[in-house]
Amino acid sequence: MRYKNVYLSIGSNIGKRYYNIIKAIFSIDQLKNTEVLEMSSFYETEPIGFVVQDDFLNIAILIRTKQKPYELLKNINFIEKELKRERKIRWGPRTIDIDIIFYEEYKIKKNDLIIPHKEYQKRNFVMIPLLEVIRNKRIKKDLLKNINLLKGKVKKIKNHNPILISSCLYGVNCKYNGGNNYDYLINKLTKKINFILICPEILGGLATPRVSVEIYNKKAINRDGVDCTKQFEKGAQESLKIAKKTKSEIAIMKLKSPSCGIGKIYDGTFNSKLVDGNGITVIAFLENNIEIISR
């Protein structure tokens, strides 16, 4: 099966809305045979329905995937479940809502899946973000016909409090070997949000390049056997100072890193083996209620 272009609408109005949406986008990008190609700006929108609730944050994304519609729907529902989506009230508040708006030019009309999405032309919070990412000329023409008929406030915004991002993911050459971990999706995201780049190891006083470090018995030990724990702890505290000063509540961190990894880190043997655990900066962030997204 060849890759198909699919347009998704994502919204959140419970909890840390930026965390919910960015986490969802990265989770979608990690699906098998799937890649996020484009993302719109973030929009704050009035809720639909009769339930008193907070405003939504909304975004549209373009993905390409080899997953068939029902396979993609199943995986989207799983991502929603992981982000604690509860379906109690129709059009009620939710941590995350991911809708398939278009799947190429397929037309599907089943009880559990309708493509194109049956309500999209009535929803400015879907239509306006879609216009930023749409590549299909025919669909875009139809969107433009209906856009001026819609009512309700939709406001393009950037998060007030910046999101912390590991510098190496942005393309800064601050890795132990003098290189970086440039991430194309991080690059797209940073055009839509306020952000601050951090490298805890540089903030802790370590040079670039430097001898690689892994965590062993809760200490940061480099390949030559030198204990670098003090520098890593200093870097964690300096990073935390930045987070507190800027009131940052979200950090996008490099996975597996002795500073920035969450859930899994290298085991200290320098044999590419992973163990359960968190990097030293991530531990400090979690203790201070900063949400971590791993990339």
Q: Are 64 and 35 in contact (CB under 8 A)?
A: yes
- The alpha helices in the chain, defined as continuous H runs, are 17-29, 69-82, 124-133, 137-146, 167-170, 184-190, 200-203, 229-246, 280-287
Q: Which of 251, 240, 213 is nearest to 229 (CA)?
A: 213
Q: Is 183 a catalytic residue?
A: no
- Nearest in space to 215 (alpha carbons), one of 274, 288, 291: 274
Q: Dihedral through CA 217, CA 243, CA 30, CA 157, nearest 10? A: 170
**CA–CA distances in Å: residue 76 to residues 8, 24, 135, 205:** 10, 9, 22, 42
Q: Considering the candidates 2, 55, 64, 85, report the single residue annotated as catalytic.
A: 85
Per-residue DSSP letter, 148: G
Q: Judge whether 223 counts as a catalytic residue.
A: no
Secondary structure class of 175 (helix, strand, coil): coil
- DSSP three-state, residue 43: strand
Active site residue 94: yes
Of these residues, 29, 54, 90, 94, which one is catalytic? 94
Catalytic member of 99, 123, 183, 295: 99
Number of DSSP helices (H) and strands (E) in the chain, helices first:
9, 16
User: Is 227 designated active site?
Assistant: no
Q: Catalytic pick from 2, 64, 90, 97?
A: 97
**Residues labelled catalytic:** 85, 94, 97, 99
